[in-house]
Amino acid sequence: MSMVIEMSNVSWKRQGQIILEQINWHVLKGEHWAILGLNGSGKTTLLQMINGYIWPTTGEISVLGQTFGTTDLRLLRKNIGWVSSALQQKIRLTDTAEAVILSGKHASIGIYEKIEAKDMARVDALMEQLGIRYLQGRSYQTMSQGEKQKLLIARGLMARPQLLILDEPTNGLDFLAREELLLFIQQLAEQKEAPTMLFVTHHIEEILPIFSYTLLLRQGTVFEQGKTGEIMCSKTLSQFYQLPIECEMKDGRTWVRKKTETSNDALANEEQTTVTQKTKI
């Protein structure tokens, strides 16, 4: 299998502060990874680095076989689909749904290239695939959050990327819209020609069965990485969050809750306290 992402001893500093430290991470073609971390763990910085918007202070990066420093990153980005809420702030409110999707062909905000018939056919096919053909002709500002997210996924797929990055795509969605979008992502990843996918989240229950590998980021370092089924356990997650965590598997997804004392535990503690107090007396 060919290498999609290769990071070797990658660190990044900003104003003397270490944001990422000694990242060693490899992603092979066809692997779908979840990236999990709390706010401030370095997830966004990692994504910006993969897209070539920032450079490592130390270490080496290769994406889609292109080593940073020896390739044109503008061309590389055309092979990377990036779906992020940060993009929503950059898109012109008056742009139509078709214009937003078309801009994904050149990884740009807005359209600056000649539009060909095959491009419009691709847009139509993507809107059909995502069930958003009813958005044709509508301006971006009139859409719901869920519609905007689907539109950005269509934009990310426009250039048939080899790597698709979904950066917290369910952010701002209600429960029903979230589950609908997650179902589509699962179906997309199962397709024969699906790109390698990275799914970034801080909600464990959003990690779908298709994401068979997980990277845990904590305070700018790799806490753990490997097969999702081995990482999503009470022991590892309790260490990761530094809290007692209980895990439950439902329909191939892991649901967690903070472990609390049971009534029996509480009673045992109360009895032990009473015995200790009597002994002191």
DSSP string, 15-67: TTEEEEEEEEEEEETT--EEEE--TTSSHHHHHHHHTTSS--SEEEEEETTEE
Residue 193 lies in a domain: yes
* 52 or 223, higher pLDDT: 223
| pLDDT digits 0-9 by tens, 239-277 | 999 999 999 999 889 999 988 765 445 444 545 544 444
Identify the pLDDT of residue 265.
Answer: 54
Identify the pLDDT of residue 87.
Answer: 76
Identify the pLDDT of residue 237.
Answer: 94
- The mean pLDDT value for 150-172 works out to 91
| pLDDT digits 0-9 by tens, 108-160 | 665 556 678 888 999 999 999 888 999 999 999 999 988 888 899 999 999 89
CA distance 197 to 66: 18
Residue 113 lies in a domain: no
First to last CA, the chain: 71
Query: Which residues are 227's β-sheet partners?
Result: 213
Residue 250 lies in a domain: yes
- Using the structure block, give the residue that is written with the tokens 């048939």: 160
Identify the pLDDT of residue 231.
Answer: 94
| pTM for the whole structure | 0.85
* 266 or 32, higher pLDDT: 32
What is the band of 75 on the pLDDT scale with cuts at 50, 70, 90?
confident
Residue 96 lies in a domain: no
pLDDT value at 16 more than 90: no
The residue type found at 54 is: I
Residue 135 lies in a domain: no
Percent of the residues in the chain that have a pLDDT greater than 90, as a whole number: 53
Count structural domains, the chain.
1
pLDDT value at 37 more than 80: yes
- Mean of the per-residue pLDDT values for the chain? 86
pLDDT value at 86 more than 70: yes
Contacts of residue 203, Cβ cutoff 8 Å, sequence gap at least 6: 170
- Using the structure block, give the residue that is written with the tokens 């990874």: 33
Residue 91 lies in a domain: no
Residue 151 lies in a domain: no
Q: Check which CATH number belongs to the domain holding 29 and give it.
A: 3.40.50.300
What is the band of 31 on the pLDDT scale with cuts at 50, 70, 90?
very high
Parent domain of 57: 3-79+161-280
| pLDDT digits 0-9 by tens, 219-241 | 999 999 999 999 999 999 999 99
Residue 104 lies in a domain: no
Identify the pLDDT of residue 276.
Answer: 46
